[in-house]
């Protein structure tokens, strides 16, 4: 209903009355707004500007710190890659050295085994020769014994008592001569 009363006060044919009182109210509101804006600017502009400046500085500091950390991370990655390359080279060198050492050790063991086999072969050959000579000597001895036994049987059958006595006397005489000469 107030709205209707408001419309009733407006002169006929106009929706908004621009009279002196309305003009003064608008001017007063405009002056109040300017004063309020100036007070607010004076009271709040510097602190808000300082807050925004500090925030900008903090963000710039964080960005700078992030860039520094990115540079450090890139350096650490480069160092890591370099160390990994060094480790790979060292690994290859160690493996190469181990292969070389294994080949040398293998060759040395093969040579030692050949020497030992040659020594065993030489000992076996020497043992075979010694055994051959021993067997040959035993066979000679056995042949001599068998020959002596056969000769004894042959002589005992072929020689009579007189021949035996005469051969014995000759053998004793030969022994006596040998005894006196030496």
The answer to whether position 8 is within a domain reads no
Residue 3 above 60 pLDDT?
Answer: no
How many domains does the structure of the chain reveal? 1
pLDDT over 60 at 181, yes or no: no
* 170, part of any domain: no
pLDDT over 50 (residue 1): no
The predicted model gives 29-35 an average pLDDT of 95
Q: pLDDT at residue 5 above 80? A: no
- For residues 142-170, one letter each, b for 16 or more C-beta atoms within 10 angstroms of the residue's C-beta and e for the rest, the string is eeeeeeeeeeeeeeeeeeeeeeeeeeeee
| 123 vs 172, more confident | 123
Query: Is 50 part of any domain?
Result: yes
Query: Greater confidence, 80 or 13?
Result: 80
| 172 in any annotated domain | no
Mean pLDDT rounded to a whole number for the chain: 82
Q: Is residue 13 part of a domain?
A: no
pLDDT of residue 180: 53
pLDDT classification of 9: cutoffs 50, 70, 90: low
| pLDDT for the residue 32 | 96
Task: Kindly report, residue by residue over 131-153, the tens digit of the pLDDT.
Answer: 888 887 887 787 777 667 777 76
Residue 176 domain-assigned (yes or no): no
Flag whether 5 is in a domain: no
* Residue 145 forms part of a structural domain: yes
pLDDT, tens digit (0-9, with 9 covering 90-100), for 41-97: 888 888 888 899 999 999 999 999 999 999 999 999 999 999 999 999 999 999 999
- Residue ranges making up the domain that contains 44: 19-159
């Amino acid at each position: 209903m107030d709205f209707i009363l408001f419309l009733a006060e407006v002169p006929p044919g106009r929706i908004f009355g621009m009279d002196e009182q309305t003009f003064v109210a608008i001017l007063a509101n405009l002056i109040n707004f300017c004063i309020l804006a100036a007070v607010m600017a004076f009271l709040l502009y510097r602190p808000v500007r300082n807050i925004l400046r500090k925030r900008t500085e903090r963000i710039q500091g964080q960005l700078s710190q992030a860039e520094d950390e990115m540079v450090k991370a890139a350096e650490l990655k480069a160092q890591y890659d370099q160390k990994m390359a060094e480790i790979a080279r060292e690994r290859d060198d160690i493996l190469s050295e181990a292969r070389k050492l294994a080949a040398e050790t293998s060759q040395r063991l093969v040579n030692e085994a050949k020497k030992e086999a040659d020594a065993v072969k030489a000992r076996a050959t020497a043992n075979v020769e010694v055994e051959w000579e021993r067997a040959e000597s035993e066979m000679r001895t056995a042949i001599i014994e068998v020959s002596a036994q056969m000769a004894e049987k042959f002589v005992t059958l072929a020689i009579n008592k007189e021949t035996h006595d005469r051969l014995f006397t000759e053998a004793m005489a030969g022994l006596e001569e040998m005894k006196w000469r030496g």
